[in-house]
Amino acid sequence: MTRPEKQDCEWRSHPLAAIPVRWRLSLAAGAAALFMTPVSAQAAGTIAGTDIVNVAQATFDGPSGGPPVTIDSNIVTIKVDELLDVTVVSSDPGDIATSPALTGQASTYQVTNTGNGDEAFTLSADTAKPGDEFDTTFEQIILDTNGNGVYDPGVDTIYTPGTNDPVLAPDESVTVFILSTIPASASDADRAEIELSAVAKTGSGTPGDIFAGQGDGGGDAVVGSTGASDEASGFFVIQAAEITLVKSATVTDPFGGAEAVPGAVIRYQLVATTTGTGNLTNLAITDDIPADTTYNAESITLEGAALTDAPGDADAGAFDGSSITVSLGTVPGGQTRTITFQVTID
């Protein structure tokens, strides 16, 4: 092939320099096919630090009917910034039933990194929210070490802000517990609000705020739609129960009257009444046999049904030689139990 005259073309050091300038095409970034590095998509999109690579191509017929020629544009690389987002939700299905003066009462939350980069989160608890009936006393925030979603004392990790802030990958969650002490002054059916907050350690603020160069993977960090902070509340409700016990007696003497003479029978009646929204657990009623009387064997009744004296048998009654006991088990508030037994005056 005869080299063209200089006025017809120019020669360059480019690999395609053998092609006359008049045959070349000027390249633009969007002139041809786009090549992107594959990435895995998460809830918040492409992972922070991913390089998006863009190369354009131009293809044209070779000179003198030769094979097609392809040339590449310059490479354009854009690094994906970190989006800072987080969600906090209560994991309790409803109000947590508790009682006055209890300690170590746990409310449960789920903290999820909804951003697109690894991020640490600072946690805080608020147990003095306005508008509820009582405030608990904050004890500790606990991280669910074994991941079973249940607070395990001595197994799960005590959280210390700035020391073991949870670092979560995109879409990763951690279960968090807030431990509280219930005040002795709390009343039946009162509620207390307990709030957990999580804030991205890189920063938070108005959506779109930028923390230059601080993103995971080397790019910027950009505040997402949550403001890079979120909070959620759980609630305790007092389910307390109280009991009143009223005792009465009737006397039947040997002569058909009601005089308390030797040989007269005293029938004692015990009426236990529970109130409140909670339960009384392992409720038992005990009454000592009075001095100068003798217990009448097998005389215990519960709701009019006879009970045996033998301790530890199938029914609720027992006589141990000096007192009677009726074991009522768990009794909800708003219930009444009536017990009777008899003695004879010596």
pLDDT per position as a tens digit, 36-85 = 333 344 567 899 999 999 999 999 888 888 899 999 999 999 999 999 99
Nearest to 227 by CA among 87, 62, 41: 87
Tokens of 27: 């390249």
Q: What is the distance between the alpha carbons of residues 149 and 308, in angstroms, rounded to a whole number?
A: 46
Segments of the chain with pLDDT less than 50:
1-41
pLDDT at 195: 98
Show the DSSP H helices in the chain as ranges: none
The percentage of the chain sitting over the pLDDT mark of 70, rounded to a whole number, equals 88
Nearest to 153 by CA among 127, 173, 179: 179
SS3 21: helix
Nearest to 307 by CA among 344, 276, 270, 346: 270
How many H-runs (helices) and E-runs (strands) does the chain carry? 0, 28
Q: What is the DSSP string of 140-161?
A: EEEE-SS-SSS--TTTSEEP-T
Q: What is the DSSP string of 57-118?
A: EEEEPPGGG---EEEE---EEEEPPEEE-EEEEE-SSSPEEE-TT---EEEEEEEEE-SSS-
pLDDT at 171: 96
pLDDT at 43: 61
Biggest CA-to-CA distance, the chain:
150
Nearest to 240 by CA among 88, 53, 100: 100
pLDDT at 113: 98
Q: pTM above 0.75?
A: no
Question: 249 with 266: CB under 8 angstroms?
Answer: yes
Tell me phi and psi for residue 65, to 5 degrees. 75, 15
Residue 204: how many CA atoms within 13 Å on its side-chain side? Answer: 16
Q: Which domains does the chain have, with CATH numbers?
A: 21-80 (no CATH), 84-238 (2.60.40.10), 241-345 (2.60.40.1170)
Angstrom distances, CA of residue 277 to CA of 159, 202, 237, 239: 34, 46, 10, 5
Residue 197 is inside which H or E element, if any? strand 191-200
Question: 201 with 86: CB under 8 angstroms?
Answer: no
Render pLDDT for 129-168 as a digit per residue (tens, 0 to 9).
Answer: 999 999 999 999 999 999 999 999 999 999 999 999 999 9
Q: What is the distance between the alpha carbons of residues 59 and 128, in angstroms, rounded to a whole number?
A: 70
